[in-house]
Amino acid sequence: MSEVNTSQSNNAQHPQGNSENTAAIQNSTVPATSQQQKPRSQTWVIDDFDIGRPLGKGKFGSVFVARSKEEKVIVALKVSCL
């Protein structure tokens, strides 16, 4: 993950404070996560998942363990009977 360095200082605009705190803030880094996040798709389709074993079955459908292909996140996937 890339980081944004916040060590830029503009003493003309900001009053002098505790020099210890000011130095700590000036040398800190902030992760640049907004630049690396991909926009998420609003709708998922069954092909977006690797379906595993069944976890249970009810009146309105079955629940399976599944893993999203893109993010590799394990989820419980309910497949409704229509």
Q: Which residues are known binding-site members for ATP?
A: 59, 78
Distance between CA 69 and CA 56 in Å, rounded?
22
Six-digit token pair at 45? 């389709």
Specify which residues 8 forms β-bridges with: none
Within a 10 A sphere around the Cβ of 66, how many other Cβ atoms?
Answer: 21
Which residue positions form the known binding site?
A: 59, 78
